[in-house]
Structure 1
Amino acid sequence: MTRDRALTLLRRFGPLAAIVILFAAAFASGLAGHISLEQLRERGGELQAFAHERPLLCVAIYLAIYIGSVAVSLPGALILSLTGGFLFGPIGGGFAAVTGASAGSTVIYLVFRTAFGDILRRKPGAFLARVEEGFKGDAFNYLLTLRLIPAFPLLIVNVAAGLMNIPIRTFVLASVLGMIPSSFVYAGIGAGLGHIFAQGGPVTLETLFSPRIYLPIIGMGVLAFLPPLWRHWRKGRGAAPPPKPLDEK
């Protein structure tokens, strides 16, 4: 193998290999287990005191953890969004959560776009190529919808966007706008966790969320489908054949 070939492979697959190694190391060290509501309850007072004394440093550490967790696909993005509200309040926590989730998602998007995107798109008749063609004209609204509905996992959306070669500007803008509603909702809930922790008893994600939380977010995702559906309907109307004259048999 020539040196140029080795460098090309390193640039293409090196970031992916680094993410896989960091993912394995995070689970082997037990780091993933520390991203939980119970850990936040146990260390909540200490973390809030640190955030009050060193706010900028705390935000920097929080963003590094959030970006790294999303980049290596650790579970717990929702817990981190709640933690942002718990530490920085509903507004500051919402902005911090949007920043961390968007930046971490962009890392995954770029890694898979570089590693596999060209290979799969060159494959004749590849499924992803057909999907890419189908959404090429409206990638922004498609991505925005996936971001607005938090039922779609971050990892799947990020990987699919990278493989489909969606423009990075479209990816970042749709990701930021689509993550704003849920991030601020979660941060708002996280800002009230101190009161919930003080009451004692077990705290789970099921006790924090209700249809009042999810239904508005899902509704926003449905609304995001309306612009492409409207354009599709208008296009179909414009492509319809003209009516025949009345005297034509």
Structure 2
Amino acid sequence: MTDDTPHGAPGRHEAWLRLWPLGLILGVLALAYALGLQRYLSFDALAQHRSALAAQVAAHPVLAPLLFGLAYVAVVAFSLPGGAVMTLAAGFLFGPWLGAVVAVVGATLGACALFLAARYALAETLARKAGPRLAAVREALRREGFWYLLSLRLLPVVPFWFANLAPALAGMPLGPYALATLLGIIPATVVFAGIGAGLGQVLEAGGRPDLSVILSPGILLPLLGLAGLSLVGAWWRRRRAAD
């Protein structure tokens, strides 16, 4: 029997084994939906359980932020819906500044976990099968990926899961990915945590938070400006490399 697998390339069995992280993520996501856990990541659930949550935070002021941060990591890593609600809850439970810190750290760690899972499972296979165009994209991301991803993170209209997976599949290094994620999500997270900090009065009045404020010109235009500056940084680095 001959082995048709090219020298140095993983066999088909090994390639399938590399898919286990994504299989785990999809399995947890399917189980969460089957159990209806997404209902607990909604604004209605937050409004219903706000008193109990606030009491737990008051009783455990040190442990509560840690547990909440771990929950945020899981929500992002397993691509569960409800990231915006989690950030609102962080602001509501811990105040605008501590809430923003907990949300930023949790979202960054969760995004890095998903990034590593996708890169481990698929990036090598895609690299072997990539044509010249994708190879050029991968090389550009290695050089200026930080600036491109930073511009995506700064724009609240870009789906968070897309900005998690696309760099991993394109072969972006972890270090620039983590730093661009950390810095890029800070502005929008601070805004949402600030809204969450005033959520108690809104809920007492029977209202709902106005999340469209993130798209108002006073907030969106500065974010667009920061995203534009990050793209200018990528252009400048590429120009200097060419020179």
TM (normalized to structure 2)? Answer: 0.86
Distance (whole Å) between structure 1 residues aligned to residue 178 and residue 69 of structure 2: 17
1:76 matched to which residue of 2?
82
Alpha-carbon spacing, 1:134–1:151, altered in 2? closer, same or farther (3 Å): same
**Which ranges of structure 1 fall in alignment gaps of 5 or more residues?**
239-249
Equivalent residue, structure 2, for 1:32: 38
Q: Distance in 2 between matches of 1:108 and 1:190?
A: 26
Task: Work out the CA distance in 1 between the residues paired with 2:214 and 2:151.
Answer: 24
- Matched residues, number: 234
CA offsets per residue over residues 32-65 of structure 1, 9 Å max, x none? 1211112111111221121111122221221222
Cα distance in 2 between the residues matched to 1:115 and 1:58: 33
Q: Which runs of 5+ in 2 are unaligned?
A: 1-9
**8 Å contact kept, 2:108–2:181:** yes
2:25 corresponds to? 19
Q: Which residue of 1 aligns with 2:63?
A: 57
Distance in 1 (CA, whole Å) between partners of 2:228 and 2:17 is 39
CA distance in 1, matches of 2:160, 2:25: 15
- For residue 125 of structure 2, the aligned residue among 119, 128, 140 is 119
RMSD across aligned positions (CA) = 2.4
1:89 to 79, 87, 95: 95
User: What is the alpha-carbon distance in structure 1 between the residues aligned to residue 74 and residue 166 of structure 2?
Assistant: 19
Any idea what SS the aligned residue of 1:55 has? coil
| 8 Å Cα contact 1:51-1:58 kept in structure 2 | yes
Q: 1: CA distance between counterparts of 2:62 and 2:229?
A: 37
- Gap change, CA 1:185 and 1:205, over 3 Å in 2: closer
Question: Which position in structure 2 is the counterpart of 1:169?
Answer: 175
| Distance of 2:53 and 2:133 partners within structure 1 | 47
Measured at CA, do residues 124 and 93 of structure 1 come closer, stay the same or move farther in structure 2, by a change above 3 Å?
closer
* Aligned position for 2:4: none
1:221 and 2:235 matched: no
Structure 1 residue 232: Cα displacement: 4.3
**Aligned counterpart in structure 2 of residue 66 of structure 1, from 58, 63, 72:** 72
- Cα 1:52–1:218 change in 2 (3 A) is farther
Do 1:38 and 1:203's aligned partners in 2 also have CA atoms closer than 8 Å? no
For structure 1, which segment, 218-227 or 139-148, has the greater mean C-alpha deviation from structure 2 after superposition? 218-227
Equivalence for 1:245: none
